[in-house]
A and B are shown apart, each in its own frame.
Chain A
Amino acid sequence: MAMTSPDTAGLPPRRRFAGSRDLWRRLPVTAKIGALMLLFWVLTVLTVSLWPLADPLAMVGRRLQPPSGEHWLGTDALGRDVFARTMYGAIWSIPIAFVVVACAVVIGSTLGALAGFFGGWNDSIIMRLVDVTVSFPPILLAMAVAAVLGPGLANASIAMVIVWWPIYARLMRAQVLEKRENEHVEAAVAGGAGRLRVLGVHILPLCWAPTLINATMDFGQVVLLAASLSFIGLGATPPSPEWGSMISEGATKFYSWWIAFGPGMAILSVVLATSFLGDGLRDLFDRRSA
């Protein structure tokens, strides 16, 4: 049957993405800066023990020295090198932010998807739980949970997951509610697909964009909240070089500004990086809400 069709019959089939290079090219400049900053911190986490830095826990000089060629960001009240401590601090903050965001995404998205897809009682119970959780100010809830569980970064992480999962539950529920009305979902049902297949194959793959964007942006926020908890003594315990507890030490030595400056700039750079990158990803994947 000879037929001309005004479509792409003659073109070679496109691959899913024409390489990650294509994705990178379409990112805005700010998002590229953010991605590079984030990459820097990830590399720091992986390699910092190989760097020629002073021991972050050892007294390497006189106490409260201002920045100099030997100690780039000076020394703290115990004579430890602030620059080395800042770099080592990434080992705490970055992986914890990963774990917290990952757990919150998995728990929140799963519950949100179930709530949105099955509706009825599932929906009511899960979403009321979400409402209760978000009715507390995040920092207060995290403080309360961390205080109950006791200090330590593991407990602080649990507290942060409890604060964060409802956001993802709401995001995913809204997406599932929207996508399940698509005609292709009805077509899949008419084709004999079961409920879980419909959810997993035909709905969820269309729902991940807002979650991905939000997770990127929240990464910085988690770093910030972790530092906040450590600042008030509910996170990392003293000798470990955690950014929040370092700022807390610096806050008592107000005229030795450099003690808080290092970790402060580190936190700032992570939060900025993730928010730049998140904005860029939203421009790419979710234009309507940009």
Chain B
Amino acid sequence: MNLHIKNGRVIDPANQLDAQHDIFIRDGKIISISTYLDGFIADQTIDASGLIVCPGLVDLNARLREPGQEHTATIESETCAAVAGGITSLCIPPDTDPVIDTPAVVELIEDRAKKSGRAMVYTIGALTQKLQGELLTEMAALKKAGCIGVSNGLSPIKNSLILRRAMEYAATLDLTLFINAVDPWLQGNGCVHEGAISARLGLTGIPETAETVAVARDLLLIELTGVRAHFHNISCGKTVQLIKDAQNKGLAVTADVSAHHLHLSEHDIGNYDTLSHVMPPLRSIRDREQLQQGLREGIICAISSHHQPLDNDAKLGPFAETMPGISGLETLLALTMKLVDDEEITLNHAIASLTSHPADILGIKAGQLKVGVQADICIFNPNIYDECQPSTFVSAGKNSPFSGWLFNNKVSHTIFNGKLVFEQDKIDRITV
């Protein structure tokens, strides 16, 4: 299968590319950029005039709900959603049911993902058995089975000694530790940021210390154990400062932020808008500004979807009783590119935050366009503005607070492993 993408504006921060080029693909790989090859006959040609061609996006954290909650979403449905959002590589955290703490679960997920054949699905293995924070998993076996790192998901390890041992063991195996930092006691049964909005609405608040106390502890243990660590979905300005200090000390620490935390604040909860119920909670406007600043300075290097598809019932009820989470795969690119429109970051920086930077964190070859690499490509249209309509999402989860937002940069084509797996014009033909 030969594919020819012509006349697009090709942007690849990893290889300092930003110019109009043609891309030639054969057998799943990029075989040439710009230079026409003798004897290349395209089976399919995509005219990308006026469009931006970039590496397929790499998402560090997306929940696909399979195994365990197939009634909500499946690997099939959510990889369809991923490619509709231009994402060709994604990582799923270990808090599936069963937990990703044995090679069998890794194999099951990889098998389902291969059958879907739309995007590369990476698994993050559990750090402790059943995520209970007590016994270590067989991390060597998980790594061999394909896990790209380890994490305890949304279940913080309360016992600092066990966390230290787990870090040491992961460091021994050269596995990256992914951390959702939260102090369970300070978080309590809170559901919104502790501040003006929690005071007004009478909802139990989660103080920023629920995150910063945990990050501070974890950073000290990271320093002690020498593990390579990545903080998922940080939400507070003060966390950015803590991570900056650690990076300045030379620790191997990185961080990502969710696209929604870069755009929303506690004020978007309005009158109990459950679609804005998310964990960690939407913080103050000042926190949001500091997250954007952290992104500009490179302290936060990646933007992730933190996709959590939910069915409609999960969001129907009094605020604190609803499930937290946002369906984010199909707004990741648009929200990130909106930061460019808002002049918060450059176009090059935006694309790097979605491609080469997260790929570097994972240590994978994705997220770039050069001769010889697997052809994972996202093509999008920066010129047409469209209202966001969550009801039309490909994802099984329509839970998005961005309904009615005006977005450009709609994905027009997604290519995975040299195959056209998504085409906007043919979206009606996709069966989920």
Q: Do A and B come from one complex?
A: no
A residues neighboring B (CB under 8 Å): none
B residues neighboring A (CB under 8 Å): none
